[in-house]
Chains A and B, each alone.
Chain A
Amino acid sequence: MDRRGGPKVPSRFVLLLLLIFCVMLLFFSYATGFSGGPLKLAADYVFVPMQRGMAGVGNRIYEAMREGRTKRELAIENESLKRRVDELEKRLTSIELQEGELNELRKLYKLDQRYSKYKTVGAYVISRSASNWFNTFTIDKGSVDGIQVDMNVIAGSGLVGIVTEVGRHYAVVRSIIDDTSNVSAMVLSTKDYCIVGGNLKRMSESSMIDFSSLEDASDKVEEGDRLVTSNISDKYLQGLLIGYISNVSEEKGAKKKKGSVTPVVDFKHLSEVLVIKELKNPAELQKKQQGGKAKTDKSKETGGGKQ
């Protein structure tokens, strides 16, 4: 710009200014939980409507690709499905007989699906996180629809994650498979507590998440046991299904166990989720608790707030 006689700002100063501004933002965000402020307005009125549209187009293309199969393929599939229906019908009759028995046992076991009574709101996933390192996504409901930070998100039968940021018409959800996610959980059959933490490495290797710090003195926990969110969790409502334990091993040094869990939710093809419009601890209660809380396992848990 010097040729034109305008004031010239050296690039180095620009870099320095921007970096200082970034550092200030970091501190400010760490201290106050700032997460965009006025920029969120831009997100609400510019990005989210367009993303919604784009997500629609993307879904349509995806659907079109799936529909573009040949008739022959469909005929073959139809044939095999018909066979499957016959097979399943046979099984159904025998299962119906067992159902009565199961209901009885269920009553004894108190296994009824707790979350059928929670008030939920459905939302569409409108965009994924912009990086390969994290597993967050944006949904198309925000504070206008009653969404708040720390609300739990489920899909189908299992826990998906937690709301970490809310705009007027959008909310960001961090899924439980994210590397920074930690959930206080318990084994449904033995009521033993543990911590379920996402792990990028485990996830990309075997589509599983890790659990650790499991106290299982009586060696009862085994493969296939159900893991649900625990009653001592700060942020997660009790009894949401996380997944099934697929292996257990001793933790080095401590008398605790670790292993991995296969989540029940298919995180790769998530397009609709349910947000539970109920917080585990209302805000005031939470603050009080944080004041005098002893350090327990659950203090490791990461909720929706900043870390």
Chain B
Amino acid sequence: MKLQFIVSKVLLVLLAVFVGFFAQTAVFSHFALAGVLPNVLVTVTSMLGFMRGRKAGALCGFACGLLCDLFSGDLFGTYAMIFVLVGYLNGLFKKLYFGDNIRLPLMMVALSDLVYGGMVYFSRFLFRSRMDTGYYFLNVCVPEMVYTVLVAILLYFPMYKLDQLLVTIDKRSVRHSA
């Protein structure tokens, strides 16, 4: 594939990540429901994962994770790892996705957010002997998951368009190389 196509694809994905990050940190922070914020970056990573496959998911996750690391002040690389795994795991379900039904994407986003929550808990809380897993699951993970799914409904169509755009670029590059 020609470099220009790769670059344009990467730029498009990065744009989605940027917008997601801004939405999460600067916009939704004013619309927190009962102190809970939706996780836009997990939504973007998860959707890109099952729309485009394992590789795209992992790479997009890596970008999202680095961003979170940059503004988190904890060990650098924790979020990158979590997001890479989330993106890759979503990529495994690419075969189930046809783009005609919003139920699967929402389920995937919900699951991804729970997995994300579990990994954050495991890496940053459990090791500091915060043992009350049930409490954290019910009071942090689940509310976040519900709000994230609500936001994912809004985000699905832009992400669907993005996927279409990436497919178009792929097709054009095939024609170009043929």
Q: Which residue of A lies closest to B20 (CB)?
A: A130
CB–CB A133/B84 < 8 A: no
Residues facing A in B122-150 (CB within 8 A) are 124-125, 128, 130, 132, 135-136, 139-140, 143-144
Q: What 1/0 flags go to B41-81 for Cβ under 8 Å of A?
A: 10000000000011100110010011111111111111011
In the complex, chain B residues whose CB is within 8 Å of the CB of A14: 54-55, 58-59
- Report if B10 contacts A (CB, 8 A): no
CB–CB A127/B25 < 8 A: yes
CB–CB B72/A54 < 8 A: no
27 contacts between A and B (CB under 8 A): A4-B177, A11-B54, A14-B55, A14-B59, A19-B84, A22-B84, A26-B76, A26-B81, A29-B76, A35-B73, A36-B70, A43-B70, A54-B27, A55-B26, A127-B25, A127-B71, A128-B37, A129-B71, A130-B21, A130-B25, A132-B36, A132-B144, A134-B74, A138-B25, A138-B71, A174-B73, A204-B35
CB–CB B53/A11 < 8 A: yes
Report how many residues on chain A are interfacial, defined by Cβ distance under 8 Å: 61
Known contacts A26-B81, A179-B130, A51 near B26 by CB under 8 Å: yes
Query: With A and B bound together, what is the CA distance between A304 and B72 in angstroms?
Result: 12
**Chain A CB within 10 Å — which of B41, B58, B73 has the most?**
B73
Query: With A and B bound together, what is the CA distance between A55 and B23 in angstroms?
Result: 10
In the complex, chain A residues whose CB is within 8 Å of the CB of B154: none
Query: With A and B bound together, what is the CA distance between A266 and B71 in angstroms?
Result: 22
Minimum C-beta distance from A62 to chain B (A): 5
Query: With A and B bound together, what is the CA distance between A3 and B178 in angstroms?
Result: 11
- Report if B91 contacts A (CB, 8 A): yes
CB–CB A58/B26 < 8 A: yes
CB–CB A18/B25 < 8 A: no
- The DSSP consensus for interface residues of chain A is helix
In the complex, chain A residues whose CB is within 8 Å of the CB of B120: 131, 133
Minimum C-beta distance from B86 to chain A (A): 12
Q: What 1/0 flags go to A11-28 for Cβ under 8 Å of B?
A: 110110011001111101
In the complex, chain B residues whose CB is within 8 Å of the CB of A40: 70
- Interface size class for chain B? 35 or more
- Report if B97 contacts A (CB, 8 A): no
Q: Which of B25, B81, B132, B139 contacts A22 (CB 8 A)?
A: B81
In the complex, chain B residues whose CB is within 8 Å of the CB of A118: none
Q: What 1/0 flags go to B19-32 for Cβ under 8 Å of A?
A: 00110111101100
Query: With A and B bound together, what is the CA distance between A127 and B30 in angstroms?
Result: 10
CB–CB B72/A172 < 8 A: yes
Query: With A and B bound together, what is the CA distance between A179 and B120 in angstroms?
Result: 13
Query: With A and B bound together, what is the CA distance between A18 and B82 in angstroms?
Result: 11
CB–CB B58/A131 < 8 A: no
- The DSSP consensus for interface residues of chain B is helix
In the complex, chain B residues whose CB is within 8 Å of the CB of A127: 25-26, 29, 71
In the complex, chain A residues whose CB is within 8 Å of the CB of B80: 18, 22, 25
CB–CB A29/B55 < 8 A: no
In the complex, chain B residues whose CB is within 8 Å of the CB of A50: 22
In the complex, chain A residues whose CB is within 8 Å of the CB of B21: 47, 130
CB–CB A18/B84 < 8 A: yes
In the complex, chain A residues whose CB is within 8 Å of the CB of B139: 201, 204
- Report if A126 contacts B (CB, 8 A): yes
Residues facing B in A218-252 (CB within 8 A) are none
In the complex, chain A residues whose CB is within 8 Å of the CB of B67: 47, 130
Q: Which residue of A lies closest to B84 (CB)?
A: A18
CB–CB A132/B37 < 8 A: yes
CB–CB A43/B140 < 8 A: no
Known contacts A3-B174, A26-B77, A54-B27, A11 near B91 by CB under 8 Å: yes
Query: With A and B bound together, what is the CA distance between A217 and B68 in angstroms?
Result: 45
CB–CB B55/A11 < 8 A: yes
Known contacts A54-B27, A268-B35, A200 near B140 by CB under 8 Å: yes
Minimum C-beta distance from B166 to chain A (A): 13
- Report if A120 contacts B (CB, 8 A): no
Query: With A and B bound together, what is the CA distance between A200 and B144 in angstroms?
Result: 14
CB–CB B174/A136 < 8 A: no
- Report if B1 contacts A (CB, 8 A): yes
Known contacts A11-B54, A54-B27, A172 near B132 by CB under 8 Å: no
Minimum C-beta distance from A57 to chain B (A): 8
